[in-house]
C-alpha cells in the first residue's frame, strides 16, 4: 500500500472517530441536561398531581354543596307549608272558638223563660235573647283543633 492510501485511510478513520466523539459528546451533554432537569420535572409532576387531586376534591365539594342546597330548598318549602298549615289551623281555631263562645250565649238564652231570672245577669225580662244561625262546634271539635295547632307549632319549632 502506498503512503497516500495509508494517509487517506488514516484521515478517514480519524474523521469517523471525530464524528463518533462529537455524537457521543452531544449525547453526554443531553444526558447531563436531562439529569439536571429531572428533579424540576419530578417536582412539576408532583405539583400537577396535587392540583388534579385538589380539583377533584373541589368538584366533590361543589356536588355536595349543590345537594345540600337542594335539601335546604326542600326543607324551606316544607317549612313554608308547615307555616301555612299552622296559620290556617290557628285561624280556624279562633273562628270555631268565637263561634263556640257566641253559641254559649245562645245555649243560655234557650233556657230563659219570661219571669224567671237570667242565669248571667239576673234580669226577669228577656227582650232580645241571643240566637245562633250557624251550628255550634262541640268542645271536642275545639280540643281537636287545639291539638292540631299545638302539633303544627311543635313542627315549626323543630324545623327552625
User: Residue 136 contacts by C-beta under 8 Å, 6 or more apart in sequence?
Assistant: 99, 100, 103, 106, 107
**Cell 257566641 sits on residue:** 102
pTM, two decimals, is 0.55
* Positions of E strands within the chain: none
Round to whole Å and give the CA distance between 122 and 35: 115
Give me the pLDDT at residue 84, please. 95
Q: Is the pLDDT of residue 113 over 80?
A: yes
Quick one: pLDDT at residue 97?
92
pLDDT of residue 81: 94
Higher pLDDT, 48 or 157: 48
Render pLDDT for 114-145 as a digit per residue (tens, 0 to 9): 889 998 888 988 888 888 888 888 889 999 99
User: Residue 121 and residue 108: Cα distance in Å, rounded?
Assistant: 11
Radius of gyration of the chain (CA): 50
Kindly report, residue by residue over 26-37, the tens digit of the pLDDT: 999 998 888 888
What mean pLDDT, rounded, does the chain reach? 90
Q: In the predicted model, what is the mean pLDDT of residues 30-58?
A: 92
Amino acid at each position: 500500500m502506498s503512503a497516500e492510501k495509508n494517509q487517506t485511510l488514516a484521515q478517514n478513520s480519524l474523521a469517523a472517530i471525530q464524528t463518533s466523539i462529537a455524537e457521543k459528546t452531544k449525547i453526554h451533554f443531553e444526558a447531563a441536561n436531562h439529569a439536571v432537569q429531572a428533579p424540576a420535572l419530578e417536582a412539576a409532576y408532583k405539583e400537577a398531581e396535587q392540583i388534579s387531586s385538589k380539583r377533584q376534591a373541589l368538584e366533590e365539594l361543589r356536588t355536595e354543596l349543590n345537594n345540600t342546597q337542594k335539601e335546604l330548598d326542600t326543607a324551606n318549602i316544607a317549612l313554608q307549608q308547615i307555616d301555612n298549615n299552622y296559620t290556617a289551623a290557628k285561624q280556624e281555631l279562633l273562628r270555631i272558638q268565637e263561634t263556640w263562645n257566641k253559641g254559649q250565649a245562645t245555649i243560655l238564652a234557650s233556657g230563659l223563660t219570661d219571669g224567671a231570672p237570667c242565669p248571667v245577669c239576673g234580669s226577669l225580662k228577656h227582650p232580645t235573647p241571643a240566637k245562633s244561625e250557624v251550628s255550634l262546634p262541640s268542645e271536642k271539635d275545639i280540643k281537636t283543633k287545639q291539638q292540631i295547632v299545638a302539633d303544627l307549632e311543635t313542627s315549626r319549632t323543630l324545623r327552625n
